[in-house]
Amino acid sequence: MSETLKIGVAGLGTVGVGTLQLIEKHYELIAQRCGRPVLVTAVSARDRRKDRGLDLSAVRWFEDATAMAADPDIDVVIELIGGADGPAKEIVEAALSNGKHVITANKAMIAHHGTELAQRAEQAGVALACEAAVCGGIPIIKTLREGLAGNAINGIYGILNGTSNFILSSMRDTGREFGEVLAEAQKLGYAEADPGFDIDGVDAAHKLAILTALAYNCEVDFDGVHVEGIRDVTSLDIAFADELGYRIKLLGIARLTNGGVEQRVHPCMVRKDAPIANVEGVYNAVVADGDFVGSLLTEGEGAGAGPTASAVVADLIDIARGVRLPTFAVPASVLDRRPSRAMAEHWGGYYLRLMCVDQSGVIADITAVLRDEDISVESMVQRGRGPAGEAVPIVITTHETTEAGMTRALDRIAALDTVLESPRLIRIEPL
């Protein structure tokens, strides 16, 4: 058996502790599967005295993670600190420039600096691996980089954020509104005190940008992702979706179009019988559509100590086995720099919900605007009258049209005197 692979772990939060526990529990198993032992020999975290339920007596403690990243007796640095910039990035850069392999679960850092860091890793002749950065335990990076490597990818989409999916699932199950369900999710520990990254779509967009780079062998382009979250989804829209045969899911979608790769994260209407529609709660799922393989769905736990540690250690085992593959499937130097397609060029169907004065002529005004923009109505639902003077919902679904035309139409509709609230728009995805 060849020599021990020595690991330094930076960051001992939930995932860091889970990773140490996994490596300790499966020491024999991992050694057998790698043909060599894998050992955590150093760690670095903020507070040495904190009780983490781990025996760290045999492990070197570094106050300064950057010093650990330079230590000659460490082969691999696992970065589990988080944050796009700051200490995480400094440590990763230090480790790479010291010729150490790097494993990270840091989606923000890879989404913002992935191309540059991959270049550094390749210059240093080491691996930069980030399976744990996307969808926790689902080995979607390996699947795209290797398992589907014989395919041109037509599209990839998924439920990339478990918190948002839990909230949408709960809203549908209970009929309650967003704010109430978010508060409950926070109590249960499924949502952070500051939930913005999750519910505003940013976390999903980080993951999508990484998946896009892998699927299309292009530079990571986080700024090219169109991002909308779920704050504006109401129980009324969920009920209408149900009536129309849809469920509302926050999806990340990357698709090759004539105008480039389209990257977008937003609430979607998906048919109830689509497999992705039935992924509930905190689960994540990704569907990759390849030109030979067809449609491949993978569903699993997208976060948490165990699943994320599983992904970290999968990268570690690859490194211990001598597998060296570029971060984004092809060398960073040959990654395409193709501009993401602007959202205005998006082509698709739409669900619109308008709250209108209940009087004659309202629908004529609205449909005239749609006609002017050449938008064809697929269905319209108008409810019986409510109490006098109260706004009534009008729901319209459209055939496929351009986002630009829809935006113009909605501006004009919103300006009508008979339309009382901001129109709500949810895109319909034919998955």
* Helix (H) or strand (E) run with residue 204 in it: helix 202-216
Give the residue from 208, 192, 195, 106 showing the smallest Cα distance to 159: 208
The only residue of 9, 12, 22, 91 in contact with a copy of itself, by rule CB under 8 A: 22
Applying the rule CB under 8 A, the residues between 225 and 284 that interact with a copy of itself are 275, 278
Applying the rule CB under 8 A, the residues between 380 and 419 that interact with a copy of itself are none
Applying the rule CB under 8 A, the residues between 327 and 366 that interact with a copy of itself are 329-331, 334
What's the CA gap between 305 and 35, in Å, rounded?
Answer: 26
**Which span sits near a copy of itself by CB under 8 A: 58-66, 73-81, 300-308, 391-399?**
300-308
Which of 89, 100, 142, 207 is an active site residue?
207
Rounded to the nearest 5°, which phi and psi values hold at 155? Answer: -170, 160
Binding status of residue 425 toward a copy of itself by CB under 8 A = no
Strand order in the sheet with 5-10: 60-62, 38-44, 5-10, 76-79, 101-104, 128-129
Binding status of residue 188 toward a copy of itself by CB under 8 A = no
What's the CA gap between 179 and 240, in Å, rounded?
Answer: 19
The least CB distance from residue 154 to a copy of itself, in Å, is 12
* Helix (H) or strand (E) run with residue 34 in it: helix 27-34
| Nearer to a copy of itself (CB atom), residue 22 or residue 80 | 22
SS3 of residue 415 by DSSP = coil
Q: Are 324 and 368 in contact (CB under 8 A)?
A: no
Binding status of residue 170 toward a copy of itself by CB under 8 A = no
The least CB distance from residue 304 to a copy of itself, in Å, is 8
The least CB distance from residue 298 to a copy of itself, in Å, is 5
Cβ atoms within 10 Å of 380's Cβ, excluding its own: 14
Token pair of 341 as six digits? 């397609």
Binding status of residue 13 toward a copy of itself by CB under 8 A = no
| Nearer to a copy of itself (CB atom), residue 337 or residue 385 | 337
Binding status of residue 137 toward a copy of itself by CB under 8 A = yes
What's the CA gap between 232 and 78, in Å, rounded?
Answer: 37
Applying the rule CB under 8 A, the residues between 34 and 63 that interact with a copy of itself are 35
Binding residues (CB under 8 A) for a copy of itself: these are 18, 22, 26, 29-30, 32-33, 35, 131, 137-139, 142-143, 146-152, 217, 275, 278, 290-301, 306-307, 309-314, 316-318, 321-325, 329-331, 334
So which residues are the catalytic ones? 207
